[in-house]
Amino acid sequence: MDHVQLLFAGVLVPFALLASCAGTPPAPTAAARTELAPSGILRVAVFTGNPVIGTKDKASGELKGTTVALGRALAAQAGVSATLIEYTAVAKMVEDARTGAWDIAVVAFDPGRRGVLDFAPPHISVDLTYLVAPGSNINSVAEADRKGVNIAAARGAATTLYLERTLKQAAVTPAENEPAAFNLIKEGKAQAYAQNRYMLLGLAQGLPGARVLEDRFSSAEMCIVLPKGRPAALEYVAAFVGQARQSGLVANAIEDAGLRGVSVARGDK
């Protein structure tokens, strides 16, 4: 079991128990609805820098993906309307939770975010690994952790936070967002780029000679999050997630988004 998965065992047990017995969650209490959508509209923050979480159609500007599907379903179930707010930098999105700029978002679980966010149980799981630069002799995750290796990652991303805690010899080279992190590889300023496998496989197609490693350093567990201090809403969202996993809503959202190598998170977190 990965380090990130172990953390979930202690953090989310109460929510796992709730989700495991959830059928269709009842209508939210007045307190839960007020906490979930204080303005009367559920403001769904959508991070479009990671296609596992969300995307933006270049032609129409429409926001799409798993967060959009689940956010709209949650709003409908709670009896409120939904509005979508795009973020292109995850660090900015997390920081905006402090000001209540949005009501729900989706990020990968990391204990370093618990001072700002409250996490529902995970609904999506995906491997975290490296894309290595053309001509690199790095063939495994372990081989990347050596002196002189710079690993590109987006500032504030769960991958960055995790690697900053766990790397022993390699150095994390943070970039402002995901495209900037990938550019560090293309410009020869980093030897590896850390992200989820789905995203890296797509990027590798545009950089001849780049490779995505077969093994992984962890797995990302994507969770619906709320700004801290909304306990009734958090309980309601936790029940929604359990039902969404069981009903096939999460699986359908993954399929509709065309996400390879991405799976529904297990219900025992």
pLDDT at 213: 97
pTM of the complete model: 0.79
Across 242-264, b (16+ Cβ under 10 Å) vs e yields bbbbbeebbeebbeebebeebeb
Confidence label for 16 from pLDDT (cuts 50, 70 and 90): very low
Which residues is 129 bridged to in the sheet? 195
Q: Tell me if residue 181 falls in helix, strand or coil.
A: helix
Report the DSSP beta bridge partners of residue 96.
none
pLDDT band at 206 (very low <50, low <70, confident <90, very high): very high
Helix 249-256 to helix 231-247 angle, to the nearest 10 degrees? Answer: 70
CATH of 127-218, one of 3.40.630.10, 3.40.50.11540, 3.30.43.10, 3.40.190.10: 3.40.190.10
From CA 30, how far away is CA 245, in angstroms rounded? 25
Question: How far is the C-alpha of 211 from the C-alpha of 100, rounded, in Å?
Answer: 40
Find the angle CA(258)-CA(74)-CA(53) to the nearest 5 degrees. Answer: 35
Same fold, 3-125+221-264 and 127-218: yes
CA distance 45 to 63: 10
Would the pLDDT of 28 be above 70? yes
In the block, residue with structure tokens 């500007």:
61
pLDDT, mean of residues 214-241: 96
Domain at 3-125+221-264, CATH class: alpha beta
Q: How far apart are CA 40 and CA 84, in angstroms?
A: 14
Q: Single out the residue of 259, 269, 252, 268 nearest to residue 70, CA to CA.
A: 252
Burial of 148 from C-beta contacts in 10 A (0-12 / 13-18 / 19+): exposed
Residue 3, phi then psi, degrees to nearest 5: -55, -45
pLDDT band for 267, please (50, 70, 90 cuts): low
Domain ranges of the chain: 3-125+221-264, 127-218
pLDDT of residue 24: 62
pLDDT single digits (tens) 37-95: 999 999 999 999 999 999 999 999 999 999 999 999 999 999 999 999 999 999 999 99
The span from the CA of 154 to the CA of 91, in Å, is 9
Greatest pairwise CA separation for the chain in angstroms: 59
- 150, two tokens: 């710079």
179: helix, strand or coil: helix
Structure tokens at 146: 């050596």
What is the enclosing helix (H) or strand (E) of 14?
Answer: helix 13-20
Query: What's the DSSP call for residue 26?
Result: P
Q: Which tokens belong to 88? A: 């292109």
pLDDT at 60 (0 to 100): 97
Closest to 153 in 3D by CA, of 176, 127, 121 = 176
Split at pLDDT 50, 70, 90, the class of 232 is very high
Contact between 109 and 225 under an 8 Å Cβ cutoff? The reply is no
